[in-house]
Amino acid sequence: MTYGHRVIQSLEDNSQIKIDCQMKAVFIAYNQALTEKVEFILDRMKIRGYTRWNQVQGRGSEDGEPHMGTHTWPALNDTILTIVPDEKVKELMDTLRKLDSKTQMQGIRAYVWNVEDSL
């Protein structure tokens, strides 16, 4: 099956129905102090599936303090990778932008990629 289409198989006659369902990968990196807020956003939008990495080090490309888990730079990041339908991407990104505007000193970044295939 080529990704981008969901195949639903009927239980009655084994026929298949192809439904367009374009998906995007959204990678979110954020100060771990924002974990509850990011999870709340995902829950509110009914985005259930994701993978999270804890205690990730990083440094912003333009400004902000590094998050290295050291004595000098004690903060750390968490990251989430979630796969969402196209129609949820704009709302998710807009909501993350609002969170970022309220918590600029904490730091949050999000990136969107096309999903080409899955199983």
CATH number at residue 50: 3.30.70.120
The number of domains in the chain is 1
Who has greater pLDDT, 118 or 103? 103
Are residues 99 and 41 in contact, defined by beta-carbon separation less than 8 angstroms?
yes
pLDDT computed for residue 104 by the predictor: 85
Say yes or no to pLDDT of 88 above 60.
Answer: yes
pLDDT computed for residue 1 by the predictor: 32
Domain that holds residue 26: 19-33+40-114
- pLDDT per position as a tens digit, 21-62: 689 999 999 999 999 999 999 999 999 999 999 999 998 877
Q: Is residue 8 part of a domain?
A: no
Q: Is residue 70 part of a domain?
A: yes
Q: Is residue 10 part of a domain?
A: no
Q: Is residue 45 part of a domain?
A: yes
Query: Mean pLDDT across the stretch 8-17?
Result: 58
CA distances from 98 to 13, 34, 39, 41 (A): 48, 13, 15, 11
Position 2 confidence tier, pLDDT thresholds 50, 70, 90: very low
Who has greater pLDDT, 105 or 77? 77
Percent of the chain residues past pLDDT 90, beyond the cut:
69
Q: Is residue 13 part of a domain?
A: no
Q: Is residue 119 part of a domain?
A: no
Alpha-carbon torsion 112, 28, 82, 56, what sign? positive
pTM for the model stands at: 0.81
Q: Is residue 4 part of a domain?
A: no
Q: Is residue 89 part of a domain?
A: yes
